[in-house]
Chains A and B, each alone.
Chain A
């Protein structure tokens, strides 16, 4: 649990009033762009960075001033940080040396850890003889063998290629569930965050923007930043014209969008005249030959990106406005052609009204 944690580096505030409770046995991801303070927060949890103010509690115990080597945490580093001059067995046994285990106990625990990460019998090898994925798993085993209270992972998959990353994601999640350990995971990759976590905390410039389950964050982002960070939305900017039973928002002099009243998410309710952002997910818009939806605009297909299982169309609506639309390709479904004239449309409940980023409120 983090309570009002602050951290400065010189003049820069790296972590700004960070308060968060991590539940037992859950995997919580700190997600955000580089420099948002997520790694700093993780390192403060481990004790590798000092806390300027605020406190960190683990299982109710205040560990803010406890030295690193007494915190009983497991940590997996981005580059694994295995000890190159020791065998795998010695690497794993290292942490156990400080915990008063007999030789038999150590061997047993190490063997169990190796079995857990699906690398039994690897004890005699050296780190340099292992592949990237294997080193990763050994690093994980080393962190877990000491039976820590919390597991910390600092972008552990960044050094792996795409396929391996996907495979390891599942592995880590499986292991985490099997052990049932409270885990904090740091990454800038939203796919990792969405697929692995129980909850995600999105950070920017040292602050938490939103915390919630992956689905909540994706479907109900609370700000333009969050909406933009997860997925690749269309963002329209406009001004509220009226707000009776529904929002009518003008996006430029001739075009208006209708959105649901309850889609707005902010503490302060929106009122007429406010500047807003409209978050429109590309998979929620449709392309048709006629104007069917409540929100519908005529345009021409400008760019087509074929991605195998789905296609992304960029539709040019004139006067500088382009919207992206993605369609899962069904069997035999034809791909549209460049320059085709279509109507791009969506219903009011498919878009989300968000505060304009500059002020952060309506």
Chain B
């Protein structure tokens, strides 16, 4: 059963990867007519594509930083303190996960226009922060809630002051959540197409937007090549994660100490 599901999920991706080497100038039927790297060559030499890639990376990175700066204090308060309306606040902050991207895109565009904010890069950065924040918050809160406060207290009794206790005990334990949340946020921002499409202009095109725009005129395997590259990148990062941090930790299931 599991094998069938796996095949069902992977097969389409496999087709895309194989077609990216197809020399035919259109996305033709399987099987491919030959083998070539020319689409990859095109990608790497195209200024729009490479520029888009660089821009995507920059935007994603800034978004992650923003999310962390706002998210860490938020997560700490949510995990540690009780206050009225906490449930409500949490649900409210999670809304962007539920609203369709197109809706977010259109409403933001209207909002920014009314607010006389025309700079595309700023708009994109604000928007990306908006819909990546819930994921970062969740990852951070999950780790903070799961970790045991008494380890911090033990450090204090043993002679560490607040800062030392935080650095040597708390931070290493939430590091998993921080990394996990960051990776999540990075990819959500990097891959985002719909919202960015509404807010981009011809000079600020992220990679997904650039690909989308190209797709309107050409339907050649370049898109397949780009997809394959992105898949490879994601795969690499996941492997890196597993080796360094351990996948179970950043999905929010931190082991309780002392058991």
Residues of A within 8 A of B (CB): 46-48, 67-75, 77-85, 94-95, 97-99, 127-128, 132, 135, 142, 146, 159
Q: Residue A83 contacts which of B151, B157, B164, B255 (CB distance < 8 angstroms)?
A: B151
B151 to chain A, nearest CB (A): 5
Considering only residues 130-161 of chain B, those with a C-beta below 8 Å from chain A are 148, 150-151, 153-161
Chain A residues with Cβ below 8 Å from B155 are: 83, 94
Considering only residues 157-203 of chain B, those with a C-beta below 8 Å from chain A are 157-161, 164, 168-169, 172-173
Q: Is the CB of A75 within 8 A of B173?
A: no
Identify the closest chain A residue to B165 (Cβ).
A69
> A83 with B257: in contact, given A77-B153, A77-B154 (CB under 8 Å)?
yes
Q: Is the CB of B172 within 8 A of A85?
A: yes
Chain B residues with Cβ below 8 Å from A80 are: 257-258
> A84 with B157: in contact, given A77-B150, A135-B258 (CB under 8 Å)?
no
A159 to chain B, nearest CB (A): 8
Chain B residues with Cβ below 8 Å from A74 are: 157
A97 CA / B165 CA spacing, docked (Å): 12
Q: Is the CB of A48 within 8 A of B157?
A: yes
Chain B residues with Cβ below 8 Å from A48 are: 153, 156-157
Identify the closest chain B residue to A76 (Cβ).
B154
Q: Residue A98 contacts which of B148, B154, B159, B258 (CB distance < 8 angstroms)?
A: B159
Residue of A70, A77, A99 with most chain B CB atoms under a 10 A cut-off: A77
Q: Is the CB of A79 within 8 A of B173?
A: no
User: Binding site of A, secondary structure by majority: helix, strand, loop or mixed?
Assistant: loop
A94 CA / B256 CA spacing, docked (Å): 20
Identify the closest chain B residue to A95 (Cβ).
B158
Can you show 8 pairs from A to B with CB atoms below 8 A apart?
Answer: A67-B161, A72-B159, A77-B154, A81-B151, A83-B168, A84-B255, A132-B259, A159-B258
A94 CA / B160 CA spacing, docked (Å): 9
Q: Residue A69 contacts which of B148, B156, B256 (CB distance < 8 angstroms)?
A: B156
A240 to chain B, nearest CB (A): 51
B166 to chain A, nearest CB (A): 13
Q: Is the CB of A82 within 8 A of B158?
A: no
Q: Is the CB of B158 within 8 A of A46?
A: no
A266 CA / B157 CA spacing, docked (Å): 41
Q: Is the CB of B157 within 8 A of A68?
A: yes
Contacts A77-B150, A127-B257, A142-B158 supplied; 5 other A-B pairs, CB < 8 Å: A69-B158, A79-B258, A81-B148, A98-B159, A128-B255
> A81 with B159: in contact, given A48-B153, A75-B154, A94-B168 (CB under 8 Å)?
no
> A84 with B159: in contact, given A75-B154, A79-B150, A127-B258 (CB under 8 Å)?
no
A94 CA / B257 CA spacing, docked (Å): 16
Q: Residue A75 contacts which of B157, B258, B259 (CB distance < 8 angstroms)?
A: B157
A81 CA / B258 CA spacing, docked (Å): 6
Residue of A75, A85, A98, A142 with most chain B CB atoms under a 10 A cut-off: A85
Q: Is the CB of A81 within 8 A of B153?
A: yes
A128 CA / B153 CA spacing, docked (Å): 19
Question: What mask results when residues 238 to 259 of chain B are scored 1 for a CB within 8 Å of chain A, else 0?
Answer: 0000000000000000011111
Chain B residues with Cβ below 8 Å from A82 are: 151, 154, 257-258
Chain A residues with Cβ below 8 Å from B158 are: 69, 94-95, 98, 142, 146
Chain A residues with Cβ below 8 Å from B169 are: 83
Q: Considering the complex of A and B, which 4 residue pairs feature the smallest CB-CB distances, nearest first?
A: A98-B159, A95-B158, A81-B150, A81-B154
A84 to chain B, nearest CB (A): 4
Considering only residues 197-244 of chain B, those with a C-beta below 8 Å from chain A are none
A67 CA / B160 CA spacing, docked (Å): 10
A52 CA / B154 CA spacing, docked (Å): 23
